[in-house]
A and B are shown apart, each in its own frame.
Chain A
C-alpha cells in the first residue's frame, strides 16, 4: 500500500457534499448585517472584566474538580490513552486500519476542540507530557513547575504556533501522512521537545509552548468554566473569552489555526486539484506554498486589521494584534465545527471500533470492535449543510461581540467605532471566505 496515498487522501472515505450556494450567501449576509448591527447598537463601555466576571460554581462541583484524586484520575486517563497509542504505534501494523491514525488526526487534533469547548482546558489536565514531567521531577526531588531558567516572555506563544504548523503540515501537506513511520516520528519529536522544554523552563513551558495545550486552553475560553483567584467559576463564554492573556505570538497561533483549516477546504476544490495536476511543479511543493500562504496571509490580515486604527497614549499599536487575537477564536471554532463535524463523528467513531484491535490481529480488547458505524449526518446532507452555516455564523457573531468589547476598552473614545471597522472587515472576509470554501470544496 506504499505510495497509493500520494494524494494525501488521509482518513475517511467520501468527503462532505459542498454546501448549497443559497445557504452560503444567506450565512455571509447574516454575518455582515449582524456585524454592523453590533457596532451600531452594542454597549459603549467595556462589559467583561476577568477580575469580577463569573459566579462561583456549585460547591459540590468545585469540591470534585479541585480534589487531588480527580486530577490524578484524569492524568491516569491521559497516560492510558497515550499508552494505547504507543502500543498500536510501536507494535501495530502499518495499515490504514491501525487506530493510530484516527487517534492522531481525529481524536487528538479534532476532538480537542469539542472536548475543550464543553469541559474546559482538557489537554492541560490529561497531557501525558505534563504527567511525565511531573514524574521525572518527583524522581529527582525537584519541582515540576520550576525549571532551570524562567520562560522568556519574548517567546510567548511562538513555539506553539510553530508546533501547530508542524501538525497541520503533516496532516495536510506531507504525502505520507497515513504511514506509521512518519506519525511515530512526529509524536516522538513532540514528546521529546515537550520533556526538554519542561525540564528547562518548568510547567510554564506547557502553558505557553505546547501546541496542543495552547489550542485546547484557547478553545476552553469558549466554555462556561473559568478560574478567578483559583476558584472555579461559571461564566458566559463571552466573559470567559475576555480572560485570554494576550502574549507574543498569539496572533500567529490563531493565524495558523484558521489558515490551515481554510487551506484544507481549498485543497479539495476542483480548481486547485486541476491546477496542481496540470502544473509541472510538484503537487507537494505547491501544497506547501499554499499552506504557508494561507497561514501567513490570515496572520498578516488579522494583524493589519487590528492595528489599522487610531490609538491613545496608553496602548502601543504593535500590541493591538495580540490584544484582539482572542476574538478570532470563535470564528476558528465555528469553522472547525463546520469543517470537521461529520468527519469527527464518523471517523472518530470508526477509530473507536479500530482501537479495539490495536495490533490488527483480529482482537476485540475493548469490546467496541463490533459497533455499528454512524452515518446519520452523511445521510442528511441538508441538515448537515445548515448545521455548518449556523456554526459559522454563531462563531462570527461571538467574535464580533468579543472584538467590540475589547475595542471599547482599549481604544480612545473618538476611535472606538471607526477603529473597529478594519477588524470587522477582516472578520467578515474570514467568515465569507470560509463559507465560500465550504461551498466550493
Chain B
C-alpha cells in the first residue's frame, strides 16, 4: 500500500511539474519568431527550437523562413500532407491551408514537432 501511495505521489508531482510551464513563449529562449504571415525557424545541428503555435487565416499564404546548418525536410500534416525540403542556409517555404484546424509541421531526422499552425 505504501508503495502505491509513493508511486501516486511521484506521478502527481510529475504531472504538477509538467503543468508549471508558462503560457507565453519566452521571446528570448526560442529560436523562432513570427510577424504577420512570416515565420522564422532556426535549426542548429540536431537541436530543435521550442514548438511555436502560430495563428493564421484560412487560405493565407504563410511564409516559413528556415535557417539551418544542414539540409532537411519538413512534413506538413495538412490534408493532403505535404513534404517540403530546405537547404543549408536560408530557405523560404510557402504553405497555404484551406481548412480550419491545427496543422502540425514536423522536422524529419531528427524527429521533432517544430510548428503548429492554428488555422481559423
CB within 8 Å of B: which residues of A?
3-4, 6-7, 9, 13-18, 268, 270-275, 277-278, 286, 289-290, 292-293, 296-297, 300, 375, 378-379, 381
- 12 CB contacts below 8 A, A to B, read A3-B111, A4-B106, A13-B78, A13-B81, A14-B79, A14-B101, A17-B119, A18-B102, A274-B50, A277-B51, A277-B113, A293-B15
Q: How far is the CB of B101 from chain A (nearest CB, A)?
A: 3
Instruction: Specify which chain B residues have a CB less than 8 angstroms from the CB of A300 in the assembled complex.
Output: 8
Q: State which of B14, B50, B80, B101 has its C-beta within 8 Å of the C-beta of A378.
A: B101
Instruction: Specify which chain B residues have a CB less than 8 angstroms from the CB of A275 in the assembled complex.
Output: 18, 21
Shortest Cβ distance from B100 into A: residue: A381
Instruction: Name the interface size band of chain B.
Output: 35 or more
Instruction: Specify which chain B residues have a CB less than 8 angstroms from the CB of A4 in the assembled complex.
Output: 75, 106, 108, 111
Instruction: Specify which chain B residues have a CB less than 8 angstroms from the CB of A297 in the assembled complex.
Output: 11-12, 15
On whether the beta carbons of B102 and A15 are closer than 8 Å, the reply is yes
Q: How far is the CB of B94 from chain A (nearest CB, A)?
A: 18
On whether the beta carbons of B77 and A13 are closer than 8 Å, the reply is yes
Instruction: Specify which chain A residues have a CB less than 8 angstroms from the CB of B119 in the assembled complex.
Output: 14, 17
On whether the beta carbons of A16 and B101 are closer than 8 Å, the reply is yes
Complex Cα spacing A406 to B106, Å: 49
On whether the beta carbons of B12 and A293 are closer than 8 Å, the reply is yes
Complex Cα spacing A381 to B103, Å: 14
Tell me, yes or no, whether B90 is within 8 Å of chain A by CB: no
Instruction: Specify which chain A residues have a CB less than 8 angstroms from the CB of B102 in the assembled complex.
Output: 14-18, 268
On whether the beta carbons of A290 and B108 are closer than 8 Å, the reply is no
Shortest Cβ distance from A270 into B: residue: B53
Complex Cα spacing A286 to B17, Å: 12
On whether the beta carbons of B21 and A274 are closer than 8 Å, the reply is yes
On whether the beta carbons of A381 and B120 are closer than 8 Å, the reply is yes
On whether the beta carbons of A9 and B104 are closer than 8 Å, the reply is yes
On whether the beta carbons of B81 and A296 are closer than 8 Å, the reply is no
Instruction: Specify which chain A residues have a CB less than 8 angstroms from the CB of B81 in the assembled complex.
Output: 13
On whether the beta carbons of A277 and B48 are closer than 8 Å, the reply is yes
On whether the beta carbons of A290 and B18 are closer than 8 Å, the reply is yes
**Residue of B11, B14, B97, B101 with most chain A CB atoms under a 10 A cut-off:** B101
On whether the beta carbons of A292 and B11 are closer than 8 Å, the reply is yes
Instruction: Specify which chain B residues have a CB less than 8 angstroms from the CB of A278 in the assembled complex.
Output: 50
Complex Cα spacing A379 to B48, Å: 32
Complex Cα spacing A157 to B77, Å: 39
Complex Cα spacing A34 to B14, Å: 34
On whether the beta carbons of A270 and B18 are closer than 8 Å, the reply is no
Q: State which of B12, B18, B106, B108 has its C-beta within 8 Å of the C-beta of A272.
A: B18
Question: Beyond A13-B79, A16-B102, A289-B11: 14 further Cβ-contacts under 8 Å?
Answer: A4-B75, A7-B104, A14-B102, A15-B104, A17-B119, A271-B19, A271-B23, A272-B18, A274-B51, A289-B14, A293-B11, A375-B99, A379-B100, A381-B120
Shortest Cβ distance from B58 into A: residue: A379
**Residue of A13, A15, A273 with most chain B CB atoms under a 10 A cut-off:** A13
Complex Cα spacing A378 to B12, Å: 35
Shortest Cβ distance from B4 into A: residue: A296
On whether the beta carbons of B113 and A7 are closer than 8 Å, the reply is yes
The 8 closest A-B pairs by CB, nearest first: A14-B101, A13-B79, A293-B11, A15-B102, A6-B111, A381-B100, A14-B103, A271-B21
